[in-house]
Amino acid sequence: MIEIIPAIDLIDGRCVRLSQGDYGQKKIYDGDPADIASAYADCGVHRIHLVDLDGAKAGSPQNLKTLERIATKVGCDIEWGGGISSEEALHSVLDAGAGHAIIGSVAALNPALFKEWLRSYGGGKVILGADVRGRKVAVKGWLEDSPVTIDELLEDFGACGLEETICTDISRDGMLQGPNQALYSGLQEQFPALSFTVSGGISSMADIVSLSEAGLRKVIVGKAIYEKRITLKDIELWSLKG
């Protein structure tokens, strides 16, 4: 059964959601991120997905104080993405309480460094974040497209210890129009040894059921929770099934 991973996207220490990765289409939600994370943990989830949108744009983590507060308050795993462009940044994120570091721009633009991190920290701690338009991987907070495709990255890193990949279809992200299931099913079939996390477009529990039936292993849910299309009770009941 697919694992639900609730998402919290951060700008200036506040919870936000973008549409299609556009910083100009930002919606701010009320509530302290640490309290929201605690509510998710109380639902029985095993992992929470944190994205530092300020860090993604700046190229270095900008919301570490918020990460520290969340890590202190909840007992579940935290995966963190945004701004990890150096080993110093990677250390700072792990030291602040993240159990997993999501690497996007570095993996696409400096694959040798990403391979070094895979060897040093292991595929259980370092996750590939592949955010795509079509098959091309976007970088620098989705502001630029890299020259590489997700298939090329997975072929390259799969031989170096990569275990997990979070793939976001940017065209679906924040749109509540359903996930690109064909993309994820195709990737899982093409690379069966890897664990793929679906990200982008989740609008209802029906989407999650469909992904689970297709054999996908993890799914990130963000805006659908804030917009009350998926409730905390839904997540709790799903967690109990698992």
List the end-to-end C-alpha distance of the chain, in Å, as a whole number.
6
Q: Could you give the 3-state DSSP secondary structure of residue 122?
A: coil
Our answer to whether residue 30 is catalytic in this structure is no
Pairing of the two strands 77-81 and 47-52: parallel
Token pair of 90 as six digits: 């990677």
Our answer to whether residue 32 is catalytic in this structure is no
Token pair of 145 as six digits: 């497209």
**Candidate list 52, 131, 169, 234, residue with the active-site label:** 131
Backbone angles phi, psi at 126, to 5 degrees: -100, 120
Q: Which residues pair with 80 in a beta bridge?
A: 50, 101
Task: Please report where in the chains the tokens 């989705």 appear, as a residue.
Answer: 142
**Candidate list 9, 54, 169, 173, residue with the active-site label:** 9
Pairing of the two strands 126-133 and 136-139: antiparallel
- CA 67 to centroid of chain Cα atoms: 15
Q: Which residues neighbour 20 within 8 Å (Cβ) at sequence distance 6 or greater?
A: 170, 171, 173, 174, 175
Residues noted as catalytic:
9, 131
